Every structure is written in structure tokens, then in C-alpha cells.
Amino acid sequence: EKAANAQSLSTQLSTLLSSSANERNEPSLEELAELLTEDQRTDVRNMRSDPRLYERMVESIAPAIFGHKEVKRGILLMLLGGVHKTTAEGIKLRGDVNVCIVGDPSTAKSQF
């Protein structure tokens, strides 16, 4: 059986979560699960039981760049974090997370 590729699953889950967050009537988890193929469901189940899931996802961010774990963690959380909210007063709060990378020249900032 083929091992789950953290980068492709991360992209698929991000797309799925992003598309569901943009809908006015958010679907239930059961409805979201129905959008996945059986192989994808199996991959998600395997990911859920992986104790190193977070670290594997961090490692899948810019794998050609050595080190910079904190930057990679920040980018991962930016990609997966934040949801749009509306307060009781009707104020819309943007859920997007922004990341500003500052550092010395030639430290792979542009590649991130």
C-alpha cells in the first residue's frame, strides 16, 4: 500500500478546508467526508493516527530549504489557521494570518 504523502495531503486538505470556509452554509464534517474518495479517507485516517503529523507537515514546507523550522511552522499555521468570524454586532473579522519574514540576505526568504 502506498504511504501517505504529507505534502499532497496537506494541499488537498487545505483546498478542501479553504473551499468549505468560503461557503455561506458551511457543510458538516460528514458532508465534507463524502467529497473525499475512499483512498483519501484512508489517508486521512492514517494521518490522524500519526504522532508525527505536525512535524511531517512542517517538513513538507519548502523541503529543499535546510533548517528554518520556526519559519516553516509559521507558514504551515498561516496556511491552515484562521477562520472568518462575524461578531454579535455584525462586525466581520478577517481570519487570514499574515507572515512577515525578516532576515539577513541569502537566507531563503524569497523561496518561502
Please count the helices (runs of H) and the strands (runs of E) in the chain.
5, 2
pLDDT along the chain (112 residues), means of 10: 56 59 68 87 89 91 90 89 84 83 84 80
Radius of gyration of the chain (CA): 17
At 46-60, the pLDDT tens digits run 988 999 999 999 999
Task: Decide: helix, strand or coil at residue 43.
Answer: helix
At 102-111, the pLDDT tens digits run 888 888 887 8
Name the CA dihedral angle for 36, 41, 44, 48, rounded to a multiple of 10 degrees. Answer: 130
